[in-house]
Structure 1
Amino acid sequence: MGVQAVIFDWGGTLTPWHDIELADLWRAICTAHLPPDDVEKAAAALADAELALGRRCDEEQRSATLPEVFEIAGVEPTEALLATHFETWTPHTHTDPAVPGLFTALRERGISVGVLSNTIWSRELHERIFARDDVLHLLDGAVYSSEIPWTKPHAKAFRAAMDAVGATDPASCVYVGDRPYDDIHGAKSAGLRAVQIRHQTTHAFERPGLTPPDALIHALDELLPHIERWHAP
């Protein structure tokens, strides 16, 4: 069957990896909309809530949403504050320049292109980013954990992504991601091939006993030869 679909992680895979301090981001967001005396308390509560939900995703493989962050923190998510949230994150969301050419090359070979992301953000926010960077039309399907009960590495998350791109056989699918546990171990456990893109902080997520990737790359422009090798009759 060759390769029927290639499914990508988002942050740190389709976007360059950035080290981010959540408290600083939330402080900048809150400063634009809250009274000065409320900024530090609100920013700390929002950062704590997001980190707590992140731990739940990691430890229990249960998804979370941005509205949950605001609810736990006790902060009202006004439209203006949400707009500032998106703007503040914008420098960290730009799509890797290699992506349009890579997606086009995959589709030219009859291979579907998908996304599976552990994210608290909505589909609308992600699609706004992909449209801004002119790659939304190159996606055959996408699954965001904010819309389903599970997060990677749960096998049902990978199955949902396969369904989104119309793939039926996990052995014919390749997952590309940066995290050894969520992405690589999760995909391999679900029966997919897995390619790890390694960046400067990947080692921080390593743990013993994980399934190794089928291929290791350091940039997206190194991916296509592996796909072609597996896709060849």
Structure 2
Amino acid sequence: MAVFGYIFLAREKEQLMPAGVQESGLLEYAQSAGLTVDKFITEENVALRSSFQQRREGGGLFRAVQSGDTVIVMRAEWILGSVRDASSLLSVWKKNGVSLFCVNLETNITLAEKRKLLIYEGGSGLVQKLLAALLLCEGSEHDDTIKATEQIQKRKGKYRGGPVPFGWEVNKKCFLVQNPEQQRIIRAIITMREDHWSYRDISEKLKEDFNLQLSHERIRRIFSSSQEKEETEE
């Protein structure tokens, strides 16, 4: 059972922490948890929002760890990347029996409550810290999102009538813009589908969590549309 310390030298200045400081912090935390770091993995010149599985060092670590192994990182946002990436990462490592300790959260976050942490729970201090970490990741994509939205608007032109797609709304200038609340629901649908929820079960969960009544067929169309948009953008 190996213990890995993941050192992240962020490209973003506000996230930058010297490697020596991280190494000391990881060693201290490991000792407090009764662990000994066997190897340090250093990731350099990578954007905060990049997927951990797609990073050069992170991807190698993701594929190398085995059941019983432990990964320790100073900050959750340095390894989770985004809500969607976090869901995938935590799901795989939970299934494979790999522990992920985040020093700023002071706990192992590959827990049975993973799905709740990302979607349902909202009361505990741990959940708030985790979501705050994920918001930092999403915030770093803000400029790219604005540019992408502007490109969509230019490509589509002004809204000329007809049904408004779920996840969008018409602004005062008659352009289609993202509806934040509905986009959050779309992300929840995608996450649940990735966790193999049926459309009927998703419909019941949306009614429970968002007080939103959507038929399972409508949810299927929303999910299919989101996948088609991703393929088009790629």
TM-score, length-normalised on structure 2?
0.28
Q: Which has the higher contact order (CA 8 A, sep 6+)?
A: 1
TM-score, length-normalised on structure 1?
0.28
Pair member with larger Rg: 2
